[in-house]
Structure 1
């Protein structure tokens, strides 16, 4: 409430909020920008920063400063918060430059979540502690994920856990929550997570619920692979209801020809749940191609039972050949044919599966199997319609996210593209809506105290960008090009980007979730 009232008052002409230190200058004064606080209407004014906090904002601040940034003509907004990334390896890298995450900073992203899609390491204490010995360029929070928890206890087989195994998995989730995990994440589309039933997920999610966490899920089906998109959304909502915690649907979409046009029905389903008091949100990246692997796209789940070694043995089993080909053929149809699968890493990087098949003189099924035998490469899968993308994007409970992963331009351009394509070009959102859903909504949804707003005493995570030039430059052919138009980024009061150039400052922090009191030994 303090932040909301402060932001509203800041719009009054001549008004200033907060107080500079009694003596000495503030560290940074951002002067003359168009300020979007996250709550109030924008106004032209100034932001003063001391240490890691905003100390004042308003019109015509008369404060001495060690550094003044001329922000005339620029948008000044809360640093963007990315709720779904795969940046954990970059943040843990031995290379200091990699840990700065320039692809995020040059879009204005100051905070990212890791461990999504069920991939979060249950040793959350170590994940968060790395920032002390390996400084990072952005803030990050971490999930505990179903994949490592299930593999550690049950393995990779298609079976339910025993009572003792379930108890061991619950203990891992509970321990991770007490170490600062943001919540419990799943990737139920992916084997072996796909082998977990709803009741198993509910039991594990309750451990996050009792400690104040959230449930973040890659749905069991975003298409028509197994239970279908609609039933998968029902399952996610039911898990949240039965476990008693908020649900966030990762990278919401209608994937593949069988479900194109279903966005309105899915939206109505979610909004009925919200109207009934269920806490359901979603994040979304602004691209028509998803990013996954060739195996996940094409190989039936039954053939993945037991992991890669078991899958390769099935490839060699002549009695399974017809069944395997039929499954892959149907998945190619579902995904929009082999021409819609662009390989983004390895020997065949930059070529579609159709092109690989033509070069090998084989049909796409045989080519896919041959490629997978060597390695399971990442792919960009063109499987969504602009109508569905826009329908989801307009909803006030859908946040901006990147699902940042290697070989896809979403790692370097998602926030910039959402602005350039869906605010400026297509006018799906207003600028204010874009900013709110890229920062404030995310901070509120995941209870990131002191972030996601420009207000006195809030953390100084701030982006300044040129509204005439802010745009993605990354493409599917060149996915690692930095975005254009960001002039400055402040992370915890430190300039991480100055005059359009990264400074090399590593001012990010690990953000540990505080578990519910009394729920951790």
Structure 2
């Protein structure tokens, strides 16, 4: 069997003698995580010497890390770290753990939640050196290699590694040969003694190889289906497999195929390694290794080892009787979907056995689709509304924040805070041009100096390295309006170099729409960056129907080599701030500067005429009834009312000319969130039907009772499926789902989101295509949609049988830089 595997070397030692060997036992190579089991042995030695107290906390030891540890994280003890139960979910300097499966930082009390995390293990190395006053490799040489007479140990090969920008605590890779690995195993088999001398304390050998966390309690859940629980840096055979020849057995496991296994019942040690050489970097999985180990045991006992009693069902959740729409645009088909942990592990067109899962959910013939991906989401309230209920209940499992130039800053710090918040959905972010320009230049109306541009390009690069998916602009907003195209091109090139995208709230969406589209396309062409014309629309009656032109411009640009797409919300009203009715030049420097300008009769006249123009031909739509207040902090009695209503209340004639002073009064009072009813239904349908259009809500996270916001905050995705698929037939069901899932996932470079296939994350939305609908209106928007049965985020139900569960399985997704 071993000849058909990617094993580089293996040795079996029985009763102290080598009874089988394969490959080169003298080749030095990295042991991967077997290093942790060796560190456990060193800990046992130093604990016996009185140099290490396992009850000490990280706070007492003075342990900290990049960005700081949380107060409750500092209470973790050495003992917690040894059992991988620290509750500290800080990123490690070295990859190779389950941190991506961790709950939010600070959410678990130390000692109560097991998660295999390299941060724990690396910090154990740092604590060892600090407390014992010796280098970990010197200790390995003096206290293990020399006493057990390792044949090939080389101190010069041992060197710490790690990315100090992630964590200040490096990993401690260990290089050994297979025959020296076997000596480690024999030492443990002999209860820590070598040739009559106790090297590792006998009681520590027993303690460290006893189950601290049973296999049934390991995290993430898919690890529970293995054969082993966890001790103190050793994996211990547990549950149904802790019987017969495997009773009391334990192992050090390392990535790619590194193993030291001790089988006391048979007086056997097995050491195995796989050296991952290019170009294919072969490996031996844990399952393959145990299959090999079973045959070693059978060769000695004459019987293949078997689990005692039933093992855990292979799936956590089985979704049966589903109409699967997989996000590719392919026709729907009937089938079952199996979930283990955070992933879809099987999609079957034939029924799967119901006893193959811990939980079976009958989908009742409804549609099972990938969770919806919102390509334009205002997540500013996220830290105060981490459950994201208004998004979750419309089927959204991933939202892209930071649109319109408004990304967070400091970028990485904010993402870390969001990670710790415990989220109801997955979130990703764009770097915001307006945010960055404001940080560097304030709101001045001029071009940046070379130094200022250099600072902005550095900030974009920093955000990209910290996980931004691209750059967003809001060129109609302040201060983005004051930038020239070449400035945006320069910043977009930085984002492009890191594999990012460019999304643009155009400089104009009304009378200047065509010029705004042309500018975005030119930025994409010059910067060689994929473009998204976000919340695409034509504002104002004079521009209704012009989507025929803009869509032709998109098609032409694509034919010429510019990778451009669009996103859209399915409503005939937009929503933004009251300030959008004021000429941008008048807002330079902020509201106090505007107040000063209005004190000048000449400037006031010019500003007022500009407001009238916007009310007539842009967001005002020529009728002040089309201008609706959504949230007015300085007078909530206006929430839901229109500019017409306010004019009447004030005793002012409700015309654009007479209402303009009210607009300026409102802006000086602090502005307001607004809804503008100025989009044509024909343009909505035409843009939606375009093959490059995705769906994005442009909605803000909301909760009932706060203002009278745009109903898109609650109903964007159900409205597409109900109104534009079922009622108007603008799209087929498969087309609509693709625009909400597969297309945005592809635009973001996410190969394992927005899909229903084995290996995809289990972000799933289940809905009834016959009843799904948005319920919110422009006068009563705080209504959740109907027809959504289930929403799973990373394999956890956040909506179950139509009810919100308040689970928080969401994660902050960080864009990965392209490999060079």
Q: TM-score scaled by structure 1?
A: 0.92
1:281-430 equivalent positions in 2, closer than 5 A: 281-296=565-580, 298-334=581-617, 335-336=620-621, 337-346=623-632, 347=635, 348-362=638-652, 363-405=658-700, 407-430=709-732
Match of 2:505 among 212, 215, 218: 218
Is 1:243 matched with 2:537? no
Q: Which residue of 1 aligns with 2:353?
A: 62
Measured on the aligned residues, the alpha-carbon RMSD in Å equals 1.4
1:359 and 1:375 map into 2 onto residues whose CA distance is 20
1:65 deviates by 1.6
Query: In structure 2, the residue corresponding to 1:88 is in which secondary structure?
Result: coil
Query: In structure 2, the residue corresponding to 1:110 is in which secondary structure?
Result: strand
Aligned residue pair count: 490
1:313 and 1:409 map into 2 onto residues whose CA distance is 37
Q: Is the 8 A contact 2:551 2:687 kept in 1?
A: yes
Q: Deviations over 1:271-321 (max 9, x none)?
A: 01111221000100001000011111x111121121222112222322323
2:745 and 2:564 map into 1 onto residues whose CA distance is 15
1:266 and 1:110 map into 2 onto residues whose CA distance is 30
2:804 and 2:404 map into 1 onto residues whose CA distance is 30
Point out the more displaced range, 184-193 or 300-309: 300-309
The list of structure 1 runs, each at least 4 consecutive aligned residues, that deviate by more than 4 angstroms after superposition, is 20-23
2:629 and 2:668 map into 1 onto residues whose CA distance is 15
1:185 deviates by 0.6
Q: Is the 8 A contact 1:470 1:485 kept in 2?
A: yes
Q: Which residue of 1 aligns with 2:491?
A: 204
Query: In structure 2, the residue corresponding to 1:495 is in which secondary structure?
Result: strand
Q: Which residue of 1 aligns with 2:64?
A: none
Q: Which residue of 1 aligns with 2:339?
A: 49
Gaps of 5+ in 1: 1-19
Q: Is the 8 A contact 2:528 2:562 kept in 1?
A: no
Query: In structure 1, the residue corresponding to 2:323 is in which secondary structure?
Result: strand
1:380 and 1:131 map into 2 onto residues whose CA distance is 29
1:258 deviates by 2.3
Is 1:75 matched with 2:367? yes
1:484 and 1:313 map into 2 onto residues whose CA distance is 50
Is 1:490 matched with 2:792? yes
2:409 and 2:493 map into 1 onto residues whose CA distance is 16
1:100 deviates by 0.9
Q: Which residue of 2 aligns with 1:433?
A: 735
1:157 deviates by 1.1
Q: Which structure exhibits the higher relative contact order, with contacts defined as CA atoms closer than 8 Å and separated by 6 or more residues?
A: 1
1:413 deviates by 0.5
1:21 deviates by 6.7
Larger Rg over CA atoms:
2
1:274 and 1:80 map into 2 onto residues whose CA distance is 26
Q: Deviations over 1:36-56 (max 9, x none)?
A: 112232111111100001111
Q: Which residue of 2 aligns with 1:8?
A: none
Q: Is the 8 A contact 1:360 1:367 kept in 2?
A: no
1:502 deviates by 1.1
2:725 and 2:536 map into 1 onto residues whose CA distance is 19
Q: Deviations over 1:423-476 (max 9, x none)?
A: 111111111111010111110111112001100011000001111221111111
2:666 and 2:435 map into 1 onto residues whose CA distance is 26
1:434 and 1:312 map into 2 onto residues whose CA distance is 47
Q: Which residue of 2 aligns with 1:155?
A: 442
1:428 and 1:38 map into 2 onto residues whose CA distance is 18
2:757 and 2:339 map into 1 onto residues whose CA distance is 11
1:505 deviates by 0.8
Q: Is the 8 A contact 1:150 1:169 kept in 2?
A: yes
1:124 and 1:35 map into 2 onto residues whose CA distance is 37
1:70 and 1:498 map into 2 onto residues whose CA distance is 12
Q: Is the 8 A contact 1:201 1:239 kept in 2?
A: yes
Q: Which residue of 2 aligns with 1:5?
A: none
Is 1:123 matched with 2:418? no
1:154 deviates by 1.3
Gaps of 5+ in 2: 1-223, 227-310, 653-657, 703-708
